[in-house]
Amino acid sequence: MPASRAAARRAPWLAAGVALLLALPPGIAGAEGPAGLNATLNEADVAHLRTEALFEEERLAEAAALAERDVALHEKVVAFYKGRLPRQHTPATPSPELFVGAALDQLGWILIELGQHRRAEEVFARAHAIYRRILVAGDEELAGLSIAGLARLAALRGDSAAAEGLRREIVAFDALLGSPFPCLAYSEVGRLFAMKADHDVAEAMLRLAAESYRGAPAVQVELLRNQADLALERGEPEVAEPLLVKALEAASARARSAGTPSPRLARVLDSLGRLHLAIGRPDRAVQAFTRALALQEEALGPGHLAAAESLDGLALGHMQRGEPARAAPLLDRALAIREQVLGPGHPATAALRLHLGDLRRATGDDGAAAALYQRAQADLEEASGPDHPAVAEALLRRAALARGGGRPEPGRSEALSQRALAIVEKVFGPRHPRVADALDALAEGHLRAGSIPSAAQALARSTEIRDRRAAALLADSSEEQKLAAVEALRGQTDLVLALPAAASPQGGAAVDLALTTILRRKGRALDALAAGRAALRDRQRPEDARLLRELVAIQGAIVDAIVRGPGAVPAAEHDAALAELERQKARLEAELGKRGATLLRDDRLVTLAEVKAAIPEDGALVEMIVRRPVGEAAEAPRLAAYVLRRRGAARFVDLGEARAAAGLVDELRQALASPRRDPAPAARALDERVLRPLRPLLGDARRILISPDGELNLVPFGALLDEGGRALIERFTFTYLSSGRDLVRFLHDETPPEPGPAAVLIGAPDFGDPDRQRSRYRPGAGPDSIELGDIRFRPLPGTAEEIAAIGAVIPGAKALTGAAATEEAVQAVAHPRILHIATHGFFLPPVVASAGRALESPLLRGGLALATANQPVTGREDGILTAHELAGLDLYGTRLVVLSACETGVGAARSGDGVYGLRRAVLMAGAQSLVMSLWKISDRETRDLMVQYHRRLQGGGGRSEALREAALAVRAAPGNQHPFYWAGFISAGDWSSLDGKDVPQRPAPPPPVAPGPRGCGCAVGPGSGGSAAALALAALLLGCVRRQRRPEDRRA
């Protein structure tokens, strides 16, 4: 009880006590005269107030000593009054015992923090007995503190059965006192119900806690943590994270104010670490648990029970990072603490045995793991009952052992998984992530036993659960959180993808399920980012626009901080400032995610039927995916392809080990990057590996809507050679997709409320003197680093001609060249119909920057050079538009972006999530389609190809088909047969015309012939129609105006 309130409450009985003393004979009054009584009460006031302050500052040893003194002083007062005042306790004449209870409450909470749980229980029991006997209206705060303390102690000893009794106590006191209990009582009893897995009651109690919160910071931290832990237990990390962020801010502020190590802050960090583990962020989990452990050990000692929580979490983080050797000593320490403090049969001790079993299994000791799992299950059943979710965790681990190892027991595995499934369905309902865990275990058992239909049935249900949960996470989170949410699905995705390999490749439920899962998950994080931003731009509220501008500014500040380095600022201070910028970025992304999530028009999961209906009659969808084999760690990842046409069943083909295809990709890219190398062997070998097995399934399809995976995103498939040595561009039009899911999105693309300009053309920037040293972008001096300051951008004369020629083709086009082609001008662009940028582009390997900090983000390592790119930097504009900055443009409704520059389609390829770099940035910004380059391209050939491309577009050509025709025209010119000159650009996104019309493929002209004595191949094949003749004539004209190539003509 606060001291000021205590003094006011005891004023009536203090006056009565003084009057009683004055009326007694001197011999009877004794030494305890009015002055002595008043001194005792004053000392108790000071002790109570000081104890409260020390407890808030978490100076626990000092607080405990003063709390003991506070109890003793109030007991002395009670002894004096015993029998001398009316027994009836009323607001007018409160009993002195009330203040003994208040002092006991305070002492009890301090003892809990110190780990003296038995003594704390005795103290709270005394206080509670006092309150039961004398409490009246207005005393609910005191009763609430003792009930909260008893609930915390019950949780610590694993006695979740006490929850209902304490809830009844609250109901009884509510009826007696006629007013709600304090926040802490509801909060702690709610936590106890969560331990009992009675989540509905827990949620109701925590709701009451929030309604009764009255502003005590320490209580707020505990409430927020309890709410977050419940959300995490219910499989709602997107609800838990903002609660924990708020709790962390409050606890950190209190800790800074007190200047002492804070166990309260450590508890929040423990909860935050568990959140990171749950959504697949082991690095951040390790950071949180490491900091929590340091605080616990400094404040409470290395053997305190609270340290075991941090040790356990830290070990799990290391295990999730694949570091079992670092986890082992941490788990051993944690187990020793819990066995000593809680006992060997406590639920928390049993949970540690499960984690130790996981460790033993990870290191190959299945026998030890089995023994640990069995003992943990027995202890959990004894402590919590046979239907507790923790028992299901033990059952699923035992099932995993039974279906793996040297002697599989499929029947036993299925029985254990079925029992676990029954438990979690009963506790959590049919759509909880833990139900998906049990279904996955059941499916894996069926898969190993060869029962593919049963496995597919279980996985169909579990993928639906996980995909709907992922949709909620993706709609309301930062980019990092979105990526983590997608990565968390990887294990189950691999399990689903194993089904077609074990079943018939001719189709069926296994293939349909696998392809549906790919369609729903591949590139999903990028879609969520783009959709949220598009929704915000559609709404066009000033606050949304402000947040988007802030995000772009923060991204730029991060780039500045990394590439500038600390300079004269201490490295630690610089790193702290950079960490704060990254926190601000994550906060803005999460806020934008929330705002965008409320606006998304359709959160349904895409279906196979929807995708099929969006495929043109002469088209085929080819989904490629790298899968990790399930259960056999030694088996290498494999590449698979799924072919889907508008009619007929989905088909599956296993394409062998993924690393073999990746090696062929590398060989081909090296051969294509130089016109002096022969690409034919590599082009034929890669086709044989990845496309020839698919051709029988393509039938008469001529438009290939291809969604590659990993390094295959960097392949110009049109340059591959078939069995007859013909380039595939002669037969097929390739359109690159992030996922076949894009096909459904294309049907619903909308135009912005206010149309932008017809076209914005940016090119031939005035880079400045290429021999001048930039004052920025020299991030490191390590032997393996590439200093951005060493990049020099030479003029590209062909780009000026390119912009002028394209401007003459597109009515209403706005051209910005020379000094006007600035970074600021690009960032001011607002959803033009076409955005064409012709300049130097680059993509760099990871750069060491900022005192050793790595500039690792592909969105920071790729960029475009604009005006003043070679000049010293004097302000915010540096002449370099990074992919990070490009992603912040307003391209919602832009039909086409052309990046007529080097390596604009290159980036860091991530399996299942596309290419990170300029390619990703354009799609994040909202563009419908993109034309980009895969290597350092030739300036003049690029100019010729781009002019051809835009002419065809303006004539109604499709965005992909027009690029194919332009490439064929360039290829047909004398001396251009090498794919270096014509295959460097690819088309991604919507393939239709700029007006959205589906344009079928037109016949290709005959392949070019070798040049004759006059350096010109003029033959036109028999039977060519007007289109073919026109292409051949265009090629002839291109050859006649060719100038000698020079190395500096490349856009690099």
Give me the DSSP letters along 455-507: HHHHHHHHHHHHHHHHHHHHHSS-HHHHHHHHHTTHHHHHHHHHHHHHS-TT-
Q: What is the pLDDT of residues 620-635, one digit of tens each?
A: 999 999 998 886 555 7
Which CATH number applies to 155-254: 2.60.40, 3.40.50, 1.25.40, 1.10.3470?
Answer: 1.25.40
Burial class from Cβ neighbours inside 10 Å (0-12, 13-18, 19+) for residue 885 reads buried
Which residue has 């019950």 as its token pair?
154
CA 664 to chain centroid, in Å, comes to 32
- Start-end ranges of CATH 1.25.40 in the chain? 1-22+35-87+94-134, 155-254
Most confident stretch, 114-118, 574-578, 782-786: 114-118
pLDDT at 548: 66
Give mean pLDDT, residues 589-615.
71
Give mean pLDDT, residues 221-241.
91
Which pLDDT band, with edges at 50, 70 and 90, does 455 fall under?
Answer: very high
Give mean pLDDT, residues 158-176.
82
pLDDT at 25: 44
Q: Which of 1008, 1013, 998, 1002 is nearest to 1038 (CA)?
A: 1008
Give mean pLDDT, residues 547-574.
67
Has residue 1037 got a pLDDT over 60? no
Give mean pLDDT, residues 451-477.
86
Give mean pLDDT, residues 393-412.
89
CATH 1.25.40: does it fit domain 1-22+35-87+94-134? Answer: yes
Q: What is the pLDDT of residues 968-988, one digit of tens each?
A: 999 999 989 999 999 999 999
Q: With pLDDT > 90 as the criterion, what percentage of the chain qualifies? A: 48
Mean pLDDT of the chain: 82
CB 346 within 8 A of CB 384: no
pLDDT at 567: 62
List C-alpha distances in Å: 956 to 805, 991, 998: 18, 12, 10
Which runs of consecutive H residues, i.e. helices, occur in 385-451? 389-403, 410-428, 433-448
Three-state DSSP class for residue 129 = helix
pLDDT at 45: 80
Higher-confidence residue of 102 and 651: namely: 651
List C-alpha distances in Å: 557 to 133, 560, 574, 920, 958: 63, 5, 13, 20, 40
Has residue 881 got a pLDDT over 60? yes
3-state secondary structure 319-385: HHCCCHHHHHHHHHHHHHHHHHHCCCCCHHHHHHHHHHHHHHHHCCCHHHHHHHHHHHHHHHHHHHC
**Spatial separation of the C-alpha atoms in residues 826 and 312, rounded to whole Å:** 51
**Spatial separation of the C-alpha atoms in residues 179 and 165, rounded to whole Å:** 20
Give mean pLDDT, residues 77-96.
63
Has residue 570 got a pLDDT over 80? no
Q: Sign of the CA dihedral 344, 347, 351, 357?
A: positive
**Spatial separation of the C-alpha atoms in residues 735 and 730, rounded to whole Å:** 14
Residue 90's CB is within 10 A of a number of other CB atoms, namely: 12
Residue 399 structure tokens = 């099932």
Has residue 142 got a pLDDT over 90? no
Q: What is the pLDDT of residues 508-533, one digit of tens each?
A: 899 999 999 999 998 887 676 666 55
Which pLDDT band, with edges at 50, 70 and 90, does 778 fall under?
Answer: very low
Residue 401 structure tokens = 């052992």
**Spatial separation of the C-alpha atoms in residues 580 and 584, rounded to whole Å:** 6
Q: Which of 513, 462, 743 is nearest to 649 (CA)?
A: 513
Which pLDDT band, with edges at 50, 70 and 90, does 808 fall under?
Answer: very high
- Cα 604-606-611 angle, rounded to 5 deg: 145
Which runs of consecutive H residues, i.e. helices, occur in 178-281? 183-195, 199-212, 217-233, 237-258, 263-278
pLDDT at 890: 86
Which range has the worst mean pLDDT, 282-286, 673-677, 790-794?
790-794
Burial class from Cβ neighbours inside 10 Å (0-12, 13-18, 19+) for residue 751 reads middle
